[in-house]
Structure 1
């Protein structure tokens, strides 16, 4: 849920700010609730795959919604725009109603005497959340950094941005489930995070090299970079699901999933400013810096996961799902 319906109807900064805060809080709560629900309804070794199916399905919805929105833009009429807004609101209501058909769950039996806000006291998990959030800034490369780079530093046509979006969307639809293979364990999730950092770093290098090249060479490099970036995105998503589920105690999945989503929220806050400075301000050195950060984060996550496993006394269970 993105609150686009509400934001379209507000007038004035104060109301806009209030609605933005409410929708942002709702979105953050939704992520934690979805993760907790998956943890309660799906066996441990199938949770990453389930989240992958959910993400692929969501991208199908985004593609269909974009096409419908395009028809509204072509019609360019007041009633048409109102119909789009009301239709969007109806989809949120339908999404809420579908939850009534899900199996009822009961709270997991917990120790009862543990500290409150355990996830915020779990230092290795918080470190993983920060690292994953830092790597997650790459999610805004396609919609922010690359359009600026293509328009200002390459001879490639601006329509190439659409091609790169198509590559990313196709990758999610066709390969996200496959990318979760081997991430059923903490060790597998850690390896996927390392591969993600390397792939995103390679994509950043290819994007950087595209600057100043001939049009067709620039397009070829951008496409290769988009493919590497998409592979990194798929692996990072799979790794995040695997590790965030695997490190959460069986009675605290909601709390841990909400904490994990905080890293993604912080990335959403800081990514636009950071990417704009690095790409539009620094150019090639900025791209290379992004690549170094991605690779470094990917290499740091496996030892953090091992640290987390040791802190739980489950070092021998890295090869198996940590919690059922």
Structure 2
């Protein structure tokens, strides 16, 4: 699966940096149409996470992931066939739906295949993904230097090929055991074929947990959407802040993105050991908030000085926010798995996936509003993150305490997963 992540993100890195330019320069859409297309397709994609999670509790996760990869390949290939806005919007929305679903399925596969080592596995996978992004982005930048229609088509086709290659490799992956299904080898001669028996179909089986009725998990997901803001600040906020509020050279923006990738590649795996249990993951919320606040303070400082101070402050901001991103990735990964009942793990992770999807839609709007408000708005954003972290920490502590209490009261031999929905 690590090779699949590398190939997938290399293809995504090729295309994502060129997507807006492709719609503007090749298909002839206006800036307003491009913004509408990206916004609407992103909003449609929000539904992909819970849908994929729901399906993964009922069918083999590898087969659903292959379907999502092929859906992305077909949707992207269809972009080459038209310059009609309505069709481009349709194809982009179909791609976005599969993209958000594939993210949840990849996370679920890692949780099931790695077991107790899931935190380290996810850290390695995230490191590989960032390396793929960097390689794909650099290759895409070289192609964009040509600026021809054929160059843009080549980048799009490169992404299509990456999804087809990823699907072919996923086909060879073993299906991991699932808490909501029993998987047995059908024959010794064909171990890759599995008979999947739905646990829910057994007579007298209890109704599976429902994340939409689990108020504490929904509140956890809501706080997660706020903690994903480091992504919007790094990718949208810092470049716009450099241009509109500081004396730093504009060329600093891509360099800070490279610095972000390098830090994630170097630090994600070593730091993952600090979030190997739910309790340790919860403890990471404090340094996460501290890093975010330092980043916001540095962004404020970058607006009050010359070029040298601006460059130094922006570099500090990028480093601090990158470590906030790394720590949140570790904590979010472990806690989302730990708080999900085994009988509906896919459904819960699908709902949790709404947090990153919502941030992708609303995060840039919030960050641009902060930029418009001026330098002193950054500390206000940092204070909001502190409040969010405090609320999430308290919520997680209560839920983990209930789980421990439930385990101590359970009859001998009775497996207790996550706490009951409240």
TM-score, normalization by structure 1: 0.90
Task: Give the Å deviation of 1:287.
Answer: 0.8
Give the corresponding residue for 1:210.
302
Give the corresponding residue for 1:56.
127
Give the corresponding residue for 2:365.
273
| 1:160-211: CA deviation from partner (whole Å, max 9, x where unpaired) | 2122112211111000112211211111111112221221111011111110
Aligned pairs for 1:114-263 (under 5 A) are 114-115=206-207, 118-263=210-355
Task: Give the Å deviation of 1:95.
Answer: 0.8
Aligned pairs for 1:69-148 (under 5 A) are 69-109=140-180, 112=200, 113-115=205-207, 118-148=210-240
Structure 1 gaps of 5+ residues are none
| 1:12-35: CA deviation from partner (whole Å, max 9, x where unpaired) | 332233223222221222122122
| 1:70-112: CA deviation from partner (whole Å, max 9, x where unpaired) | 2212333333333322222111101111112211234435774
The equivalent position to 1:23 in structure 2, one of 91, 95, 116, is 95
Contact 1:130 1:263 in 2 (8 A): yes
Contact 1:198 1:294 in 2 (8 A): no
The equivalent position to 1:297 in structure 2, one of 388, 411, 416, is 388
Q: Structure 1 200/74 Cα, relative in aligned 2: closer, same or farther at 3 Å?
A: same
Q: Which moved more, 1:216-225 or 1:99-108?
A: 99-108
- Measured in 2, the distance between the counterparts of 1:239 and 1:150 equals 30
Contact 1:210 1:218 in 2 (8 A): yes
- Measured in 2, the distance between the counterparts of 1:199 and 1:282 equals 22
Contact 2:221 2:351 in 1 (8 A): yes
Matched pairs, number: 318
Give the corresponding residue for 2:115.
43
Q: Which moved more, 1:69-78 or 1:169-178?
A: 69-78
- Measured in 1, the distance between the counterparts of 2:97 and 2:152 equals 27
Contact 1:198 1:298 in 2 (8 A): no
- Measured in 2, the distance between the counterparts of 1:17 and 1:303 equals 41
- Measured in 2, the distance between the counterparts of 1:77 and 1:128 equals 46
- Measured in 2, the distance between the counterparts of 1:314 and 1:214 equals 57
Contact 1:142 1:161 in 2 (8 A): no
Q: Structure 1 36/224 Cα, relative in aligned 2: closer, same or farther at 3 Å?
A: same
Task: Give the Å deviation of 1:289.
Answer: 1.5
Structure 2 gaps of 5+ residues are 1-7, 13-71, 182-198, 409-416
Structure 1 vs Structure 2 CA RMSD: 2.4
TM-score, normalization by structure 2: 0.70
Task: Give the Å deviation of 1:139.
Answer: 0.3
Task: Give the Å deviation of 1:147.
Answer: 1.6
The equivalent position to 1:310 in structure 2, one of 391, 401, 405, is 401
